[in-house]
Amino acid sequence: MTQDELKQAVARAAIDYVVDGEIIGVGTGSTANFFIDELGRIKHRIKGAVASSEATAARLKSHGIAVFDLNDVDSMPVYIDGADEITPHGAMIKGGGAALTREKIVASVAGKFICIADGSKLVDVLGSFPLPVEVIPMAQAVVARKLAALGGEPRLRLKDGRPLMTDNGCVIIDVVGLNIPNPAEMEAAINGIVGVVTVGLFAQRGADVGLLGMADGVRTMTFRQGSAA
Nearer to ligand 5RP, 68 or 113 (CB): 113
For 225, half-sphere exposure in the C-beta direction (CA atoms, 13 angstrom radius) is 1
* Closest C-alpha to 214, from 16, 29, 7: 7
Distance in angstroms (rounded) separating the CA atoms of residues 126 and 41:
35
Nearer to ligand 5RP, 73 or 98 (CB): 98
Q: Any contact of residue 25 with ligand 5RP (CB under 6 A)?
A: no
> Cα angle at 184 between 123 and 127, to 5 degrees?
35
Note whether 212 and 117 are within 8 A (CB): yes
42-101 binders of ligand 5RP (CB under 6 A)? 81-84, 94-100
Binding of residue 30 to ligand 5RP (CB under 6 A): yes
Residue 31 in contact with ligand 5RP, rule: CB under 6 A: yes
Spatial contact of 18 and 24, defined as CB atoms under 8 Å apart: yes
The smaller minimum CB distance to ligand 5RP, of residues 47 and 163, is found at 163
- Shortest reach from residue 209's CB to ligand 5RP, in Å: 15
Q: Minimal distance in Å, beta carbon 46 to ligand 5RP?
A: 20
Burial of 152 per CB tally in 10 Å (0-12, 13-18, 19+) = buried
C-alpha dihedral, 220 to 78 to 25 to 198, nearest 10° = -80
What is the pattern of x (binds ligand 5RP, CB under 6 A) and - over residues 98-127?
xxx--x------------------------
Least Å from the CB of residue 216 to ligand 5RP: 21
Closer to ligand 5RP by Cβ: residue 145 or 220: 220
**β-pairing verdict for 162-163 and 209-214:** unpaired
Among 29, 127, 154, 183, binds ligand 5RP (CB under 6 A): 29
φ, ψ of residue 188 to 5 degrees: the values are: -65, -40
Q: Any idea which residues carry the catalytic annotation?
A: 103
Smallest separation (angstroms) from ligand 5RP to the CB of 89? 18
The least CB distance from residue 51 to ligand 5RP, in Å, is 12
Q: Which residues are at the interface with ligand 5RP (CB under 6 A)?
A: 27-32, 81-84, 94-100, 103
